[in-house]
Amino acid sequence: MRTILTLILMAAILLVGCSDGPAPGTDPVWFDDMLGAPDQAPTGWPDLATCSPLPGAAGRGGDLVVALAEPVAPGHAPVPLNDAERVLFAACYETLTRVTCTGRLAAGLAEAWEPRENGRRWRLRLRPDAVFWDGTPVTAEAVISAWARNFDITQQSGRPCPGLWIEPSGRGMVALSSHLLEIRLAEPQVDLPHLLAHPAMAVSARRAGWLWPVGSGPARLAADTDLPLPDLVCRPNQHHPEAPTWRTLTVRVLPDADQRDLLGADVDLTVIHSRAAVDYYAQLPDVRRTALPWSHKYVLLVPPTAQLTPASAVRLAAADVTVADGRNTERLTFRRCRPGGCPQLHGPTVTVFTPPLDPDPARDMLQARHLYHLAGDADAAALAARVAARLLPDAQVRPLPQTDLARSLQDQEGAATIVRLDACYPTPCLSTAALLAHGPWLQAALPEDLNDPCEAARLLLNSGRALPLADTRAYLVWRGPLAGLALAHDGTPLLATLAVAAAEATP
């Protein structure tokens, strides 16, 4: 099955030097040694100063409450479709690998991995003690089934899925034993372990009598956990090697609340995206706040059919966005680009969206004056209004649902489209290829023999096909003695690591 996201296959198969697998008849050299490497960031990894928002020694016990400002749906789990779901699902569901906030590749459900045939095949050994919340073991067959469901969720949502190219039908993934999984690829892919840390690659299983899919993460839900009303109560998964130290964690879901009201009297911590809320909490003496890493990037995509000059006039100030924090940006990826082989910048793109059978000239003329953005995204709307005022004074700013937005990009509709890229892809090659997946016309702007993501970004900028507008990030706000909170590579707070501060660490 191919979709517009097949390019993420291209995104996935990276790229900086490969090494052959073990010679026939020799024992495989698993990558156990790299898991114990020092926690050092690769070259170009930004935002290191924000990676320890709650320093100090973690204590044990306590009943913590965290408030989130967006809806959470069990039908999406474990694939997050908004920031609140990303926070909750990251605590409850595991990926095979992890990438830390400092850029270090670490074990997840897979305790070791090994490339073969220069990275064309990968073998991953699952953690033998990994079990789902209901006590059933996490097996290679369960991983394959989980990914098939995840790919369906992402396809139905109209969002890029990082794993469609793996072919969950069976040709791309093979369970060699209960805890040994082999992934077979069309091209060598050195950075496959990094791709497997993407949140859409988390593992879960459906069980009769459970509303929520069961996971294997450090935080667990109960079989009778219902929809957020508004509270979801998590408890430590004692089978996990990094079980939380808190006694209970209540996730309070308040999508309709003013973000200035999220940190109620019984709430310990919240994540906010509102500048007004940041200013409000700054005035409260018992409340602390800190910026999280830059996690969203807004890019203006201009199809070749549009008559829009790639003017430098698209320089927007931080005031042009409504989030807690925004900045101008000149990069198309979150990480500073590193030159290297990235063959995934090219390849077939087959869309699942069908253009209209009977083109309507009047409709085409109207669409040529449209500036599209994702419906419900206040920052994209603010940026679209600003871009229209500066570059497209006759344009009609129009919000679209995610699936319609994806279709319009494939069909090269409108004068331009503002898209939001999330920091889920840990390498510049993965990020660049994911950007190209928005439309085959973006890939067509690059020479056929180009495989350098740095040069690809430069050409996209110079051609005016992709113009970065702004980076945005959220803020962490809390009260009381908390410690130990770690962040994922995309800046997501990992609630399983949150803890009350140890007594000796309390002033």
Once rounded to an integer, what is the mean pLDDT over residues 47-69? 93
pLDDT tens digit sequence for 92-120: 999 999 999 999 999 999 999 999 998 88
CATH class of 1-22+30-38+94-216: alpha beta
Non-local CB neighbours of 367 within 8 Å, separated by 6+ positions: 408, 413, 414
pLDDT tens digit sequence for 145-170: 999 899 889 888 887 777 755 654 44
Looking at residue 40, its pLDDT comes to 54
**Does residue 174 have a pLDDT over 50?**
yes
Reported as a pLDDT band with limits 50, 70 and 90, residue 49 is: confident
Once rounded to an integer, what is the mean pLDDT over residues 312-316? 52
Return the amino acid letter for 329: T
Nearest by Cα to 297 from 383, 187, 211, 196: 383
pLDDT tens digit sequence for 3-15: 333 333 333 322 2
Residue with tokens 């050409």: 459
pLDDT tens digit sequence for 324-361: 898 888 889 888 888 877 777 775 443 343 444 444 44
Residue 91 CA to its chain's centroid (Å):
14
Beta-carbon count within 10 A of 471 CB: 23
**Does residue 218 have a pLDDT over 90?**
yes
Looking at residue 8, its pLDDT comes to 35
Reported as a pLDDT band with limits 50, 70 and 90, residue 427 is: confident
d(CA 281, CA 264): 11
CA torsion sign, 298 to 301 to 422 to 206?
positive
pTM for this predicted structure: 0.88
Looking at residue 25, its pLDDT comes to 33
Looking at residue 305, its pLDDT comes to 80
**Does residue 89 have a pLDDT over 80?**
yes
What is 276-307 written as a DSSP string? HHHHHHHT-TT-EEEEPPP-EEEEEE--TTS-
Looking at residue 336, its pLDDT comes to 85
Of 278 and 340, the structure prediction assigns the larger pLDDT to 278
**Does residue 455 have a pLDDT over 70?**
yes
**Does residue 413 have a pLDDT over 50?**
yes
Looking at residue 366, its pLDDT comes to 44
Strand bridging mode 486-487 / 296-301: unpaired
Cβ proximity of 380 and 299 under 8 Å: no
Q: Which fold has domain 296-352+359-472?
A: Dipeptide-binding Protein; domain 3 (3.10.105)
Q: Which of 23-27, 370-374, 380-384 has the lowest mean pLDDT?
A: 23-27
Give alpha helix (H) positions in 181-309. 192-195, 275-282
Once rounded to an integer, what is the mean pLDDT over residues 296-306? 90
Once rounded to an integer, what is the mean pLDDT over residues 242-269? 96
Looking at residue 88, its pLDDT comes to 98
Nearest by Cα to 193 from 296, 109, 84, 82: 109
Reported as a pLDDT band with limits 50, 70 and 90, residue 486 is: very high
d(CA 239, CA 358): 58
Residue 475 CA to its chain's centroid (Å):
17
User: Sheet of 325-328: strands edge to edge?
Assistant: 325-328, 466-473, 296-301, 416-422, 370-374, 396-400
Cβ proximity of 442 and 40 under 8 Å: no
Of 11 and 490, the structure prediction assigns the larger pLDDT to 490
Non-local CB neighbours of 137 within 8 Å, separated by 6+ positions: 130, 131, 178
Strand bridging mode 466-473 / 296-301: antiparallel
Percent of all residues in the chain with a pLDDT value above 90, rounded to a whole number = 56
Of 279 and 389, the structure prediction assigns the larger pLDDT to 279
Once rounded to an integer, what is the mean pLDDT over residues 126-146? 96
Q: Which of 17-26, 147-156, 442-451 has the lowest mean pLDDT?
A: 17-26
The CA–CA distances, whole Å, from 361 to 354, 364, 365, 366 equal: 17, 5, 6, 9
Q: What is the mean pLDDT of the chain?
A: 83
Cβ proximity of 502 and 59 under 8 Å: yes
Once rounded to an integer, what is the mean pLDDT over residues 74-97? 97
Dig out the tokens for 178 from the structure: 């209960």
Looking at residue 462, its pLDDT comes to 87
Query: Residue 308: what are its φ and ψ, rounded to 5°?
Result: -130, 120
Neighbour-count burial of 61, counting CB atoms closer than 10 A to its CB (0-12 exposed, 13-18 middle, 19+ buried): exposed
Architecture of the domain whose range is 58-72+217-294+474-502: 3-Layer(aba) Sandwich (3.40)
Looking at residue 500, its pLDDT comes to 95
**Does residue 81 have a pLDDT over 70?**
yes
Cβ proximity of 306 and 414 under 8 Å: yes
Indicate the domain borders of the chain: 1-22+30-38+94-216, 58-72+217-294+474-502, 296-352+359-472
Q: Which of 55-59, 217-221, 391-395, 448-452 has the highest mean pLDDT?
A: 217-221
Of 333 and 244, the structure prediction assigns the larger pLDDT to 244
Of 214 and 314, the structure prediction assigns the larger pLDDT to 214
